Amino acid sequence: MQRRRTLHWAAGLTAAAALGSSARAQTPAAPGAATPLPGRAVPGDMAPGKPPVDPKNKLGLEVDFVATPDEIVDAMLELAKVGRKDVVYDLGCGDGRIVIAAARKFGARGVGIDIDPDRIAEATANAKKAGVAKRVRFVQGDLFEADFRDATVVALFLKWNYNRKLRPRLWAQLKPGTPVVSHEHDFGEDWPPSSETIVNGKKIYLYRVPQKSA
């Protein structure tokens, strides 16, 4: 799940990338916005008229694309116990490396969602190079409006506040017990992780979607 600095349809703060295989906010920043969100460099951090730090960030997204390191990708998929029967969604997929690894190393199928068309094109090309184009697909869209109900595993590399914003949608769409694995950021006190691990100084959190309230 890459991150956009965290994270795969429409503009507006209702909207992942990148991380993840990517970590990037999936919504363009409001015109003239200058208040940075915690934990990530945003266009508002720059002096007026200056370009974003990431030259790939052509949409004015609140966070730049940062790829999840391959060793963390593998650890995320192993922690979620991904197998051949799984459908892995990466919300904010960036260059597609998480779902590509899920297909190539674990035999799973995968779907990556990212709001940036350049990242979708890059991910599609990467899947072809890896020989898994028939097992994965990439969709340009807003992760906060995405339909991922067929996911059996969800991977994320998003900012902490986007994790919290996405949580109700994960709970509403996913079956109870579905693993959700997040690189670096948790979902807050209201949803404690089932387990966690540290790889190269970075935390990886594993969550299980809770039973739906009656």
Asked whether the predicted pLDDT for residue 90 surpasses 80, the reply is yes
Beta bridge partners of 87: 109
Asked whether the predicted pLDDT for residue 124 surpasses 80, the reply is yes
Closest CA to 211 of 171, 181, 182: 171
CA distance 2 to 119: 10
At residue 79, the 3 state secondary structure works out as helix
Asked whether the predicted pLDDT for residue 79 surpasses 50, the reply is yes
Residue type, 204: I
Expressed as residue numbers, the domain containing 164 is 1-214
pLDDT per residue as tens digits for the range 21-70: 444 444 444 444 433 333 333 333 333 444 444 444 444 455 567 889 99
pLDDT on residue 64: 66
pLDDT per residue as tens digits for the range 186-200: 999 999 999 999 999
pLDDT on residue 30: 43
CA distance 211 to 109: 25
pLDDT on residue 67: 85
pLDDT > 70 in the chain, percent:
70
pLDDT on residue 49: 46
CA distance 23 to 153: 17
Domain count of the fold of the chain: 1
- The number of C-alpha atoms within 13 Å of 108 and in the hemisphere containing its C-beta is 25
pLDDT on residue 61: 55
Provide the CATH number for the domain around residue 104. 3.40.50.150
pLDDT on residue 214: 60
- Which secondary structure element, helix H or strand E, spans residue 88, and what is its range? strand 87-91
> Taking a C-beta distance cutoff of 8 angstroms, is the pair 21, 126 a contact?
no
pLDDT on residue 213: 74
Asked whether the predicted pLDDT for residue 95 surpasses 50, the reply is yes
